[in-house]
């Protein structure tokens, strides 16, 4: 199903697929360079070097294009990244250590993905159709890691969901904030040393709450 297209009228191959790809990639570039505020029909089309009408034709509008972009994936860390590569070794660790590691890796994952931070901020501020498209993948990624970290663990003495929510909220906030406002409560978020201190404190919190 490649070389000379057969049948009815398969892909006149003036390169529709390539154009779609160019549009999807343009979304990523605009998002990374100018932020989500700039993600509009006109800007994205200009960035892709394509007429904006194609966004409507191929994706049924901007929300559709953003949804396609979201489906490309890669924004959210996968399980292997969060548990440090070796899932078996991860599961062999005691619970507190497991949580601590997952939290640290989540922080690093978000910090290393500018696009992810942008999406995080975006989803935060607008409840529109564009952002809905980006939600599903994130929710799934979050649920998966929590399930893995808590696998086979029974700790009725700790409100784990509440702990997760607080740790996740803190990390999300700091990561997003790093891009906008470099100083928070006297700490320089653009200084690597600050992030080491943050990691250390996260570790300490997790261990302290879970009882080492």
Partner DNA sequence: TGACAATGTCACTTGTCGGTGACTATCAAG
Partner DNA sequence: CTTGATAGTCACCGACAAGTGACATTGTCA
- Interface ranges with a copy of itself (CB under 8 A): 37, 121, 123-127, 135, 142-143, 146, 159, 161-174, 176-177, 180-181, 184-187, 194, 197-198, 200-202, 204-205, 208-209
Nearer to DNA by C-beta: 40 or 84?
A: 40
12 binds, among a copy of itself, DNA, none (CB under 5 to 8 A by kind): DNA
Task: List the x/- string, 18-37, binding to DNA by CB under 7 A.
Answer: xx------------------
By rule CB under 7 A, what count of residues binds DNA? 29
Q: Does 57 bind DNA (CB under 7 A)?
A: yes
146 binds, among a copy of itself, DNA, none (CB under 5 to 8 A by kind): a copy of itself
Closest distance to DNA from the beta carbon of 25 (Å)? 14
Of 10, 91, 125, 183, the one binding DNA by CB under 7 A: 10
Nearer to a copy of itself by C-beta: 10 or 136?
A: 136
Nearer to DNA by C-beta: 57 or 71?
A: 57
3-state secondary structure the chain: CCCCCCCCCCCCCCCHHHHHHHHHHHHHHHHHHHCHHHCCHHHHHHHHCCCCHHHHHHHCCHHHHHHHHHHHCCCCCCHHHHCCCCHHHHHHCCHHHHHHHHHHHHHHHHHCCHHHHHHHHHHHHCCCHHHHHHHHHHHHHHHHHHHHHCCCCCCCCCCHHHHHHHHHHHHHHHHHHHHHCCEECCEECCCHHHHHHHHHHHHHHHHHHHCC
Nearer to DNA by C-beta: 19 or 194?
A: 19
Q: Is 132 exposed, middle or buried (0-12, 13-18, 19+ CB in 10 A)?
A: middle
61 binds, among a copy of itself, DNA, none (CB under 5 to 8 A by kind): DNA
């Amino acid at each position: 199903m490649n070389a000379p297209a057969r049948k009815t009228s398969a892909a006149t191959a003036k390169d529709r697929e390539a154009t779609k790809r160019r549009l999807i990639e343009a979304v990523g570039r605009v998002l990374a360079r100018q932020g989500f505020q700039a993600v509009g029909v006109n800007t994205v089309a200009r960035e892709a070097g394509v007429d904006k009408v194609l966004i409507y034709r191929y994706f049924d509008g901007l929300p559709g294009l953003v949804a396609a972009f979201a489906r490309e994936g890669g924004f959210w860390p996968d399980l292997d990244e969060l548990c440090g590569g070796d899932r078996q070794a991860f599961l062999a660790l005691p619970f507190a250590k497991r949580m601590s590691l997952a939290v640290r890796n989540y922080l690093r994952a978000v910090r290393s993905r500018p696009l992810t931070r942008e999406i995080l901020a975006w989803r935060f501020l607008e409840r529109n159709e564009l952002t809905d498209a980006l939600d599903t993948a994130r929710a799934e990624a979050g649920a998966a890691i929590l399930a893995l970290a808590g696998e086979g663990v029974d700790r009725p003495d700790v409100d784990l969901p509440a702990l997760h929510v607080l740790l996740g909220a803190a990390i999300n906030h700091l990561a997003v904030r790093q891009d906008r406002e470099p100083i928070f409560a006297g700490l320089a978020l653009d200084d690597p040393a600050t992030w080491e201190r943050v990691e250390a404190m996260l570790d300490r919190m997790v261990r302290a709450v879970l009882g080492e």
